[in-house]
Chains A and B, each alone.
Chain A
């Protein structure tokens, strides 16, 4: 197995070869100008420090605090961005760039699209809600709760009727959350298998809101629908996913009919672990024939 340093060296070597091939390691000649003489710029090897590498709990910029030890201890009690110092009244450059990087992560998760080939790669049956664009999805939550007609026909044709459990996947507010799917789906299936329950084909819904499970429920008549959906990202938590579960869901049921496991991602509840938990809850819902606030866990 490669050590991290080996990989870094290999990348570095590959990069310098590439630069050499492009003449990139040679000094860049300054343009000739009449007055000023500009020095030649040398492009060096190596990387600028990753501004996101240090966690907010450990990032500290106050140059000469009255009580450094106390300040550092204080920072351990919160993930809030304190001890960040300043440039005049404004933010320190590095904490500012760290913040912007974290927001960029969240924005890319929301506004990025799940690759078209993703559902097929996962063996899912791909459909879509009434939303026809990301913009419409963000501004019309009502349309994101309804499957379009073609999808309804497709799901009615391809999905088994009256299954015990249907797992459903939707992009929701984070395309990046789909990274959890290859880990959580097998974990749920395996957990359910332990209870003697098999899961059939999995429908995938593009531009889906949580309420889309209420539209699927009556269509397939499953006892339990479990929707895996991307959560609205927080700063730097773009990959977070939730699992919503309901017994015989339909649009007539109240919000409180859903049972939810949230914060599923590598930095929260890891997807494989969450999958086992979700399977256990599904079993409880099946046994109790109720879900949400009526279900005692």
Chain B
């Protein structure tokens, strides 16, 4: 006899008639729990499929609110969700999809202080975060808590999927023992991402989560799947266990990933969009440099001289190092690195536009197109 009620039997009938799942597997899913880190591009499809499949208890860690620019790929949300808590909107949507499950919301930043306690409460962790510091935190906490880490990551047109720390298999540090220094690899917010790409990667992650929970098929442990959307290619790369790292406790992952601490940040001089406006209105003698990509420049610009960050060194030779420069990008991250690069090259009067062109649009000129 199954413990599933009649509603559940109707709902899950396509699973129940699969001999590999059946009533026993469906009950197993109902009795299991998954913690999803991030309810963004990867988290949205992942959560939808896990809820639909009947995973009994789903935890969501996310403290962000829905932004209009999320709707291009974060399929849990609609226009009415903009400005609301992602985790809360996700919970409502998932319970509407499947009232037979429990959804637990953790509206908090995952940290070295709370990760282990959270991870212990779930069978499997699914990683859909967007930065290296959290990736290493999730990995190390999974190793210490003994939980499988179903990993997915995306960049522009490429995605990666693997299952780490599964039955003694390799973990993320076996693949990459150290993160890149900040700035060398752009984030999705800077580099862009094809909206449907996280859908492909997250549904592969959801498949692996369900296989782990049911002990079904060959779990992608020791194997990195690399998907290229433009080439429509899937490449399988082997990952073997390494011993060139130690995970004994959770550490300061911002520091591990080289994210500048407070005192170092002060070295980059900043200027506000209001001050820039004054300088422009007063026709002051300085040069505005835009270090974004040409495609971004074409969407909106404030008449800066276009010098994309990764080609900046080629432009610097033609500039007078003693003159004044203000550098901007979309949000202020790339331009801060450009300012540092210019300072290293001997420029003495360079400042970073705080908040980038988005701050300019918000505070000075709303007629420009936001992206």
Say whether A and B bind each other.
no
Q: Which residues of B contact A (CB under 8 A)?
A: none
